[in-house]
Amino acid sequence: MTVKQATPAPEPVAKSGAQILVDSLEAQGVDIIFGYPGGAIMPVYDVLPKSNLTHILGRHEQGCGMAAIGYARATGKVGTCLATSGPGATNLVTSIADAFLDSVPVVFITGQVTSDLMGTDAFQEVDIFGITLPVVKHSYIARDPADIPGMVAEAYFIAAEGRPGPVLIDLPKDVANAMTTERHRWRPYPKVKPEMGESAEIAQAEKLIREAKKPLLYIGGGIAQGDGVTELRDLIERTKIPSVSTLKGLGALPSDHPDFLGMLGMHGLKAANYAVQECDLLIVAGARFDDRATGKLDTFAPHAKVIHMDIDRAEINKLRKVDVGLEGSLKKNLNALNPGDLDIEDWRTLCFDRRTEHEWDYNAPGTGVYAPKLLHDLSRRAPESAIFTCDVGQHQMWVAQHCYFDDPKDHITSGGLGTMGFGVPAGLGAKIGCPDRTVITVSGDGSIMMNIQELATLNRYGIPLKIVLLDNSALGMVRQWQEVFFDKNYSEVNLDDNPDFAKVAEAFQIEGFTVRTRDEVDAGIDRLLEAKGPILMHVKIDPNENVWPLVPPGRSNADMMER
């Protein structure tokens, strides 16, 4: 009898750490990487062309990081960014900090010098692991290529789990080059299911809501990140409780929702700030009592009991002592709250009479472009699914005050860090992530110069981003503060030597045009919205125009300065 020989198992194929990294990214479902090559990360770039990953080459690592943030915020996926060691890594620090302060899930992968040179001040060596420790959710240094699959899987899990945030993977060049057939078992990470508060806490919260005569919902960015938009709207539909929003919470309720009073805080709307100061119960959903929202903290909602819902236990009782803390899933906690019918009609009437009383008057005098009206009209004429990304400064506050948003993902701005130069790269990242949606970036003449090189990225990939550049020939917000609080001592805010930004756009082979008077605005908006490719609308505005209302620093939100 002939004995059939068993076919020997094929020998495992040895792969480099770089190849294992790319395979691991594909296994996590990554499709887009924003990055910039260099010496220490070159092994990864050597294998990228053979992968299924699409790499978007930015023109500065900070731009790459901001693009990854825009992508993550628009899509709800984890963003991915790649850079080399030394200056490549340090150029990412602002992007990493921005993602950390706004709780955005992004995995940042940096090249590093070889392991034997780490700690020797080698060429293009910095301790990016140590530099970023305060602004990451977690970080790794790869020491063995066999660890990479588990490390990558855990990094993407941690970035998205709970309160999202950035994760850093530092990859030494020798580890990227090393060949191995092994795949180490990685410590298992817990499959955390965000829980809702205990039933006793839910009952206590419902009791406070029933007893309140002037309840108010204070909505933060955690609503979107916790996938609680539907549940929030359902709770408001059931209870008719008036609501206000932080900058990042805009869109959780549609801007024209009948129960929405607008943004609160330093540049919040008067109806919103007055409601906070007079409420007797503040229901905080995914917000963190940031100073720009609260003004002088000990005068914020001074008569109110507080219910605070947040997925991050550390935020509850951190800045404001609460009466009920509901840690865990906002989605579950909002859904669990069912206080029944409320007797708050007098309070609702007061709130919404104030909203009507303080509605914005867009009939500004003169023939110049009035930025609030331009932004109001643009957002009304843009497609319903349009995404607005914006930079930081006066234009950022005008967008928050005057644009209409139907969903939190429609509004992408740098909140916690306040990063100038954010708008254009975040816009291109959002457009790559959501190619079927109109994406509009609103920038200022100060902000756009900080990452203007990304116009080359728009041109290279034909990304049809629509840019509205409000140009007041000044660092507008700093100028406003110098006017109001520093006796008009205007120090280093004059930008009247700006280039012709329309011509700058054309130099990047991007369509550009200039609007100087309000009679040109309607046609300008039409041209902007109808453009098929990237386009920049350069809008000249009054350098003396300010953002109102304004709560002076160290003052109560009730102390609003006006025009």
Segments making up each domain of the chain, as ranges: 15-180, 199-357, 371-540
Task: Report phi then psi at 97, rounded to 5.
Answer: -65, -40
pLDDT at 26 over 80: yes
500 CB-near residues (< 8 Å, 6+ apart): 514, 538
Q: In the numeric block, which tokens belong to residue 218?
A: 């204070």
Q: Out of 173, 248, 305, 332, pick the active-site residue.
A: 173
**Residue 5's pLDDT is what?**
63
**Residue 2's pLDDT is what?**
59
DSSP H helix total and E strand total for the chain? 22, 20
Residue 211 CA to its chain's centroid (Å): 36
- Concerning whether 231 is annotated as a catalytic residue, the answer is no
Instruction: Please tell me which residue, 4 or 450, carries the higher pLDDT value.
Output: 450
Q: Out of 28, 42, 118, 124, pick the active-site residue.
A: 124
Q: Out of 66, 309, 450, 477, pick the active-site residue.
A: 477
Tell me if residue 53 falls in helix, strand or coil: coil
Percent of the chain whose pLDDT exceeds 90: 90
- Give 239-278 pLDDT, tens digit per residue: 999 999 999 999 999 999 999 999 999 999 999 999 999 9
Kindly write down the DSSP assignment for every residue of 295-338, as one continuous string.
SSGGGSSTT-EEEEEES-GGGTTTSS--SEEEES-HHHHHHH--
pLDDT at 430 over 80: yes
- Concerning whether 477 is annotated as a catalytic residue, the answer is yes
pLDDT at 4 over 90: no
- Concerning whether 394 is annotated as a catalytic residue, the answer is no
Taking the C-alpha atoms of residue 307 and residue 80, their distance in angstroms, rounded to an integer, is 36
The mean pLDDT value for 278-286 works out to 97
pLDDT at 378 over 80: yes
Beta strands in 264-410 (DSSP E): 281-285, 305-310, 324-327, 387-390
Instruction: Please tell me which residue, 83 or 563, carries the higher pLDDT value.
Output: 83
The mean pLDDT value for 65-83 works out to 97
pLDDT at 422 over 90: yes
The mean pLDDT value for 161-171 works out to 96
* 15-180 and 371-540, same CATH topology: yes
CATH of domain 199-357: 3.40.50.1220
Taking the C-alpha atoms of residue 117 and residue 112, their distance in angstroms, rounded to an integer, is 9
CB 415 within 8 A of CB 60: no
Give which of 197, 129, 149 is closest to 27, Cα–Cα.
149
- Concerning whether 453 is annotated as a catalytic residue, the answer is no
The mean pLDDT value for 51-60 works out to 98
**pLDDT category of residue 24 using cuts at 50, 70 and 90:** very high
User: Residues 77, 263, 386, 432: is their CA dihedral positive or negative?
Assistant: negative
Categorise residue 169: left if φ over 0, alpha if ψ from -120 to 50, beta otherwise. beta
- Concerning whether 513 is annotated as a catalytic residue, the answer is no
Give which of 22, 151, 155, 35 is closest to 89, Cα–Cα.
35
Q: Out of 123, 195, 198, 207, pick the active-site residue.
A: 123
Residue 214 CA to its chain's centroid (Å): 31
pLDDT at 520 over 60: yes
Q: Out of 15, 34, 61, 270, pick the active-site residue.
A: 61
Q: In the numeric block, which tokens belong to residue 506?
A: 């054309």
Taking the C-alpha atoms of residue 455 and residue 443, their distance in angstroms, rounded to an integer, is 13
**Residue 403's pLDDT is what?**
96
**pLDDT category of residue 177 using cuts at 50, 70 and 90:** very high
The mean pLDDT value for 331-336 works out to 94
**Residue 272's pLDDT is what?**
96
**Residue 547's pLDDT is what?**
94
**Residue 187's pLDDT is what?**
72
* Fold of domain 371-540: Rossmann fold (3.40.50)
pLDDT at 304 over 80: yes
pLDDT at 188 over 90: no
Give which of 465, 469, 446, 442 is closest to 454, Cα–Cα.
465
Q: Which residues are registered as beta bridge partners of 218? A: 244, 284
The CATH superfamily of 15-180 is Thiamin diphosphate (ThDP)-binding fold, Pyr/PP domains (3.40.50.970)
Beta-sheet pairing, 260-263 with 281-285? unpaired
Which segments of 103-188 does DSSP mark as H helices, in order?
128-131, 148-160, 173-177
- CA separation, residue 299 to residues 103, 214, 275 (Å): 27, 17, 13
Asked which of 287-291, 363-367, 544-548 is least confident by mean pLDDT, the reply is 363-367
**Residue 8's pLDDT is what?**
65
